[in-house]
Structure 1
Amino acid sequence: MKGFLLKGRAGLLGTVRQWHWISSAMCLVGMLMFAITGITLNHAADIPVEPVVITKEAILPEAMLEQLELPDDDRAPLPPFLRDWLSDTLDTRIANQAAEWSDDEIYLSLPRPGGDAWLTIDLLGGEVQFEKTDRGWVSYFNDLHKGRHTGVVWFWFIDVFSVACVIFSITGLVLLARHAGSRPSTWPLVGAGLVLPLVLILLFIH
């Protein structure tokens, strides 16, 4: 019976070790990115940013302008033929998202990580105005950290990554408990990791 329990315990620890290294491998690059961008976000005011603004203008062909019909709702996506023309003409990706339609103008906001963009289409004369602002790679990765204007795929990636980090942490705790007997500093260090943030919150955050 004792041998069976020891064998079962060894098998459980083997499973924990396997989950620990698999989750650590999956989290490695993501944890580095989120740790580094945590520093850049914390010092955002100290990092100089020089936004680059690009503006473009075009004229919508009259035949295409005549094809445009006001939708029933004042917020609706651009028709596919218009998105294709704008993508080719402006050399930028036009998202299939709701634009603001009025009797004389279409306005489309195009927020993105690390920058912003918008375009307007004059429905009377066909003038197209486009402006894009790029705040650089630091802002780009900061927005990835926050999940700002990153879309559904990145939204789910953050959730999956967070679950992998939880697995990594819990299995690490189990392995710490397994070896704590031969490493007396284990629990004091774990306790310090818990108590220190609480003390800082209570004393310095109001």
Structure 2
Amino acid sequence: MTSRAERIPQKTHKPLRSRLYALARWLHLYASMLSLLVVLFFAATGITLNHPEWTFGTTTTTHTYTGTLPQSWQQNGQINWLETAETLRAAHGLKGRVSDTRADGQEASLSFRAPGYAADAFINQADGSYTLKVVAQGPLAALNDLHRGRDAGAAWAWVIDLSGGFLLLLALTGFTLSLFFRKTRTAALVTALVGALVLLGMMWQTR
């Protein structure tokens, strides 16, 4: 008759190799699922960035507006940039972040920037009259600017950083997984070495 202690299954510790393999596989699987759309986006826009001669989706429209700001936009020679920007935004449906404010006593200017979008206002400080030029590029140009991180804001900068981290994790876990398979380990290492040498050679040629 067996005792109660003997009937309780004993926990066995898996070897370190098995635990490393399971961790690498888990990280690789879920990181790839989380970053799938990110990889597709940066892969596609990387190709379009490399071919500026492709013109589909890059149609540019330009509009010029004129008007006069309310008197409160400037008091005692001091410009209320926030009110000025919001007045222009409301009047003309502008988008993007405000940047490049400038004033020299005669003319003031400010710009609105977003991916694939630019609006520049030039204001006569004597009477508040302004000329506004709005340039809107097509959706492909906007996507290319997102790839670069141009005029996309701090939140998108975090997206780019996190995307880079996920891609780095995918590469490292994928390389780690290849080391666990004896039959293909040598071929994987040789392929990685050849790929690294080719990349370094191409980088050297661009100098």
Structure 1 residue 41, shift from structure 2 partner: 1.1
Which whole-Å deviations, capped at 9, do the CAs of 1:5-53 have from their partners, x for residues lacking one? 62x3322222221211222122211111111111111111343644211
2:81: which partner in 1?
Answer: 78
Q: Are the counterparts in 2 of residues 86 and 94 from structure 1 also a CA contact under 8 Å?
A: no
Structure 1 residue 193, shift from structure 2 partner: 2.0
1:32: which partner in 2?
Answer: 40
Identical pairs, percent: 24
Query: Is residue 24 of structure 2 the alignment partner of residue 16 of structure 1?
Result: yes
Give the number of aligned pairs.
194
CA change 1:30–1:118 in 2 (3 A) is same
Which whole-Å deviations, capped at 9, do the CAs of 1:71-125 have from their partners, x for residues lacking one? 4xxxx8713x333322211111363545112222220022322132211222222
CA change 1:61–1:201 in 2 (3 A) is closer
**Deviating more after overlay: 92-101 vs 48-57:** 92-101
1:141: which partner in 2?
Answer: 143
2:60 to 51, 54, 57: 51
> Secondary structure at the residue paired with 1:121?
strand
* Aligned-residue CA RMSD (Å): 2.4
Q: TM-score, normalised by structure 2?
A: 0.81
**AA matched with 2:134:** K
> Secondary structure at the residue paired with 1:17?
helix
Q: Are the counterparts in 2 of residues 83 and 94 from structure 1 also a CA contact under 8 Å?
A: no
1:152 to 151, 154, 160: 154
**AA matched with 2:90:** D
CA change 1:35–1:55 in 2 (3 A) is same
CA distance in 2, matches of 1:200, 1:96: 40
Q: Are the counterparts in 2 of residues 78 and 97 from structure 1 also a CA contact under 8 Å?
A: no
2:3: which partner in 1?
Answer: none
Structure 1 residue 69, shift from structure 2 partner: 4.0
Q: TM-score, normalised by structure 1?
A: 0.81
Q: Are the counterparts in 2 of residues 144 and 150 from structure 1 also a CA contact under 8 Å?
A: yes
**AA matched with 1:166:** L
